[in-house]
């Protein structure tokens, strides 16, 4: 029997409790979940790709079937090389759906065997995004309710250096 592999792509700059919620729920559904840190050309990242991979690895260490990698290729191309057929996309609001739905159609055009699974965020994280985290951190705010405990100090230190 072939393994059921899914990919959860994103910029994760930094990973939030909302991302972690999607990872935990996806890891419970699939044999293997690959969290893939991708380059987003439209964003000016706080953390390097290598730093983001390391922060996520530390955060997801408790999930034996979750692996963390990065890719600079199209996500559907990355998925083909990893034998994954399902892409996980977390949705916070209808506005996310509109964008992600169009991307899913483009991905289907590029690679018809790929399916996109939209996972609604847990209601307590619908407001949460990496940019919200960066903003709160830039004012020295308490990050406990926003990012995994394993990386709170890393985010605070990085933002301090960025000011």
Which of the residues are catalytic? Answer: 19, 43, 92, 130
Please, what is the angle between helix 49-60 and helix 17-29, to 10°? 60
Joined together, the tokens standing for residue 78 give 């990355």
Spatial neighbors of 152 by CB under 8 A, at least 6 apart, are 143, 144
SS3 percent helix, strand, coil of the chain, rounded to 5, is: 45, 20, 35
Question: What stretches of 69-129 show up as alpha helix (H) in DSSP?
Answer: 75-82, 94-110
């Amino acid at each position: 029997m072939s393994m059921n592999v899914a990919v959860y792509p994103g910029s994760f700059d930094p990973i939030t409790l909302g991302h972690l919620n999607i990872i935990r729920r996806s890891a419970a559904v699939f044999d293997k979940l690959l969290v893939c840190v991708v380059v987003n050309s439209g964003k000016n990242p706080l953390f390097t790709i290598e730093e983001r991979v390391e922060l996520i690895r530390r955060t997801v260490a408790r999930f034996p079937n979750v692996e963390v990698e990065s890719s600079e290729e199209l996500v559907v191309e990355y998925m083909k090389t990893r034998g994954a057929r399902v892409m996980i996309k977390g949705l916070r609001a209808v506005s996310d759906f509109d964008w992600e739905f169009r991307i899913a159609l483009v991905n289907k055009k590029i690679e018809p065997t790929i399916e996109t699974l939209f996972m609604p965020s847990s209601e307590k994280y619908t407001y949460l995004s990496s940019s919200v985290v960066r903003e709160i951190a830039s004012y020295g705010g308490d990050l406990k309710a926003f990012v995994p405990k394993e990386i709170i100090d890393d985010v605070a230190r990085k933002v301090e250096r960025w000011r």
